[in-house]
Amino acid sequence: MSIHGILGEQTTDYPTQYSPETLYPIARSIGRDVIGWQQHKLQVGMDWWHAFEMSWLNLQGISQVAMARFSIPATSAYIVESKSLKLYLNSLNFTEFANWQQVQTLLAKDLSACVQAQVSVELIALDDMQSGLLIIEPEGTSIDDALAECADKVALTLHPDASLLKAGSDNSVNKQPPVQHSVSFYSNLLRSNCPVTNQPDWGTLAVTMTSANTVAHADMLRYVLSFRQHNGFHEQCVEQIFADLSQYFQPSELMVRAWYTRRGGIDINPCRVSDLSLLPKPSRLIRQ
């Protein structure tokens, strides 16, 4: 009797020796070409990756464990395919290092070479209660119940539908200067599919925006739900949302970020902003 069930007979070979060649780069231009909107504006931000299965050997051959944060600038030419990152990290499990700094330096070198940009690496001890991996709550108002009173059923769409965003304007008939509003909201219902494996990716989306155009929570939730069958990398989904909100609401300030749930011991947290001064601190949520 097979023990593989619906997964079939496929297995993955995990390297037991240091293997930087397993890191597989994917050009950011692939996702940005699909979006087709001012690529330079999609390069302002950061992708924070958290790895919870970091391990290597000290010079006594004793396993060491830690958590890690990789900060990848949105200006990098490439992202790293997440399964290849898991294989790479596992290849360090039986490699000896004299200290944590050696591990951190090697990780930064290999990841920077893969994405063709300077990647910052932090190793975090499991008992470091003051670390940036403490759990926070998203800011703003949840929009997840915005359709609770609507009678119509939300349709499944194959691709994100920006037409669901119905931007309103506060411009009055006497041509007074538009009134800018600052809003913050979030949804735990962001879902998309990995373009490599077709596995579902779940995340929490947060938006902070200053605009003269009003944001209807019901319309925004319909838009978020339109991603449910979309095949897109985490970074591309956040950039698509950033581009659509930029075009529909013409904000003077905009931040779009997502905290995706963990797969393979790794979670990915992209953030795009209209100006680097708006970049928040990296963080994680309770579902991660």
Q: What is the dihedral of CA 34, 37, 41, 44, to 10 degrees?
A: -20
Parallel, antiparallel or unpaired: strands 141-142 and 181-193: parallel
Instruction: Name the β-bridge partners of 170.
Output: none
Among 92, 221, 94, 227, which Cα is nearest to 105's?
A: 92
Among 119, 52, 43, 127, which Cα is nearest to 80's?
A: 119
Rounded to whole angstroms, the Cα distance separating 9 from 218 reads 44
- In degrees and rounded to multiples of 5, residue 78 shows phi and psi of -135, 160
Do residues 282 and 71 make contact, with C-beta atoms less than 8 angstroms apart?
Answer: yes
Q: How many CB atoms lie within 10 A of CB 198?
A: 8
Query: Which member of 110, 201, 244, 267 is catalytic?
Result: 201
Q: Does 271 qualify as catalytic in the annotation?
A: no
- In degrees and rounded to multiples of 5, residue 273 shows phi and psi of -135, 155
Q: Does 194 qualify as catalytic in the annotation?
A: yes
Among 80, 110, 48, 97, which Cα is nearest to 260's?
A: 48
Cβ within 8 Å of residue 2, ≥6 positions away: 9
For residue 106, the 8-state DSSP code is H
The three-class DSSP label of residue 104 is helix
For residue 231, the 8-state DSSP code is B
Catalytic amino acids? 194, 201
